[in-house]
Structure 1
Amino acid sequence: MTLLSTRGLSKRFAGLHAVENVDFDLPQGQVRALIGPNGAGKTTFVSLLCGRIAPTQGTVIFDGRDISRLPAHKRINLGMAYTFQITSVFANLTVTENVALAARRRLRGMAMVQATEQALAQVGLEGRLDQNAGDLSYGHQRLLEIAMGLVQHPRLLILDEPTQGLADSEIEGFMALIRSLAGHTTILLVEHNMSVVMQAADQITVLNFGQILAQGSPDEIRADRAVQAAYLGTG
């Protein structure tokens, strides 16, 4: 079953085609990586999916429903959660309070407390519950954002550069987390770390100049001459 799809999705900024005529299908339960050179349109594409910006033309379909004009908060209510390249935690609240705020969309009382603790344990922050989020390292703020997404039990989790700022050991923990979620949470992973991409993704979509250059398995993408020339630097 396809959970998320786009048809003819385009976004132009004063004549610049940031995303152009993209047809995209993401099956339920899949881990899909979205890669491409800087300026390829990845962040714009994800912003269109999340509702942060409106398309110039084309449609976004989530679980069979056209959500192209739906605002971001209503997409969250449908089961989409996302983190972005720039962290958006509440610096003056504790780690626990940040996740509890996200959990309040669907839970109250002890259920909220338990879900908050579970999400923080999943990302390895169970030892930092009472620390102010603003005092965390950048990498730990990234993990906190992921916990804020996980606690919502999303049907689709969109992660934009989640391993940026993480130490090697933390990246290993992130990989274990993705493996534990695979199959029952659909994940769209925007990531520059090609080792993470090749290990984590079931399928990879490559964007270049706002258009899909290639799609396929990690092995297929690694061997694709157009991808090598445009992005992987081996062509």
Structure 2
Amino acid sequence: MSLLSTRGLSKNFDGLQAVSNVDFDLPEGQIRALIGPNGAGKTTFVSLLCGRITPSSGSVSFDGRDISKLPAHKRINLGMAYTFQITSVFANLSVSENVSLAARKRVRGPSVMTVVQQVLDKVGLADRLDQIAGDLSYGHQRLLEIAMGLAQAPRLLILDEPTQGLADSEITAFKSLIRDLSSTTTILLIEHNMSVVMETADIITVLNFGEVLAEGSPAEIHANAEVQTAYLGTG
């Protein structure tokens, strides 16, 4: 059974069809990449999954439960965590305080600092425990945001452009991190960096004009003529 699925999911903005009749299934334990050209509807689709906006029609289900009308904070309580395209860290708090706030949604007492240390180790920020988050580089703020998501031990982690602002060496480490996380967490990755997508995703879903253009393995998507024309720029 799919951990996350949509049926006929659509969203209109003043007559503009941003997402149109999308059927989507994400099995537990999979790394799924969501790609597509600018304006393809990716951000709107993810906002529908997260509960930041409500659908015009269709449904979203998580672990077999219809969550279409559930607000975002209640979806988090079910085991969904997500990072935004724009960082949402608390700039005036330290790195450890940011992660502690996220961890306290799940654990209490001394366990909090154990979780903080574990997730900062995972994302490569353990040496910046006491640094003020607002003083971090943009790329490191993205990694902190991922750590905050991981602190909640999510069943589903949705990452929106996580490698934006990362140096090449950090992107290499990020690929390893994603592969490591996939043993315990289902991952939906919205990403423009095609080397990240092709090297980490089990399956890729391509959106174009708010509709699913194609879906398949990295090799199948790379060889798909429609995808090449619409997005990969080799058509």
- 1:22-50: CA deviation from partner (whole Å, max 9, x where unpaired): 00000000000000000000000000000
* Partners of 1:208 and 1:40 in 2: CA distance: 4
Matched, 1:211 2:211: yes
C-alpha distance in 2 between matches for 1:129 and 1:184 = 24
Distance 1:120 1:147 in 2: 6
What SS does the aligned partner of 1:109 have? coil
Q: CA deviation at 1:184?
A: 2.2
- Give 1:12's aligned amino acid: N
- RMSD of the alignment, in Å? 0.5
Using the TM superposition, give the Cα deviation of residue 182 of structure 1 relative to its aligned residue in structure 2, in angstroms.
Answer: 1.4
Give 1:76-225 correspondences, 5 Å limit.
76-225=76-225
Tell me the amino acid that sits aligned with residue 104 of structure 1: R
Q: Could you tell me how far apart the structure 2 residues matched to 1:120 and 1:17 are?
A: 40
Q: Aligned partners of 2:9, 2:26: CA distance in 1, in Å?
A: 14
Q: How many residues align?
A: 235
* Alpha-carbon distance between aligned partners in 1 of 2:111 and 2:64, rounded to the nearest angstrom: 30
Query: What's the CA shift string for 1:124-159, capped at 9, x where partnerless?
Result: 000000000000000000000000000100000000
Secondary structure in 2 aligned to 1:89? coil
Q: How many Å separate the matches in 2 of 1:124 and 1:183?
A: 19
Question: Counterpart of 1:151 in structure 2: which amino acid?
Answer: A
Structure 2 segments unaligned to the other structure (5+ residues): none
Following superposition, the deviation at residue 183 of structure 1 comes to: 3.2
TM-score between both structures, scaled by the size of structure 2: 0.99
**Match in the other structure for 2:70:** 70
Q: Secondary structure at the match of 2:110?
A: helix
Aligned-partner residue type, residue 197 of structure 2? V
CA distance in structure 1 between the partners assigned to 2:154 and 2:175 by the alignment: 18
5+ residue gaps, structure 1, are none
> How many angstroms does 1:110 deviate by?
1.1
CA deviations on 1:170-226 (whole Å, 9 max, x unpaired) are 111111111111132100000000000000000000000000000000000000000
SS at match of 1:43: helix
Amino acid at match of 1:125: L
**CA–CA distance in 2 between the matches of 1:19 and 1:82?**
20
CA distance in structure 1 between the partners assigned to 2:174 and 2:207 by the alignment: 24
2:33 is the counterpart of 1:37: no
2:2 aligned residue: 2
Identity rate, percent: 77
Summarize deviations over 1:46-84 as a string: whole Å, max 9, x none: 000000000000000000000000000000000000001
Cα drift, residue 232 of structure 1: 0.2
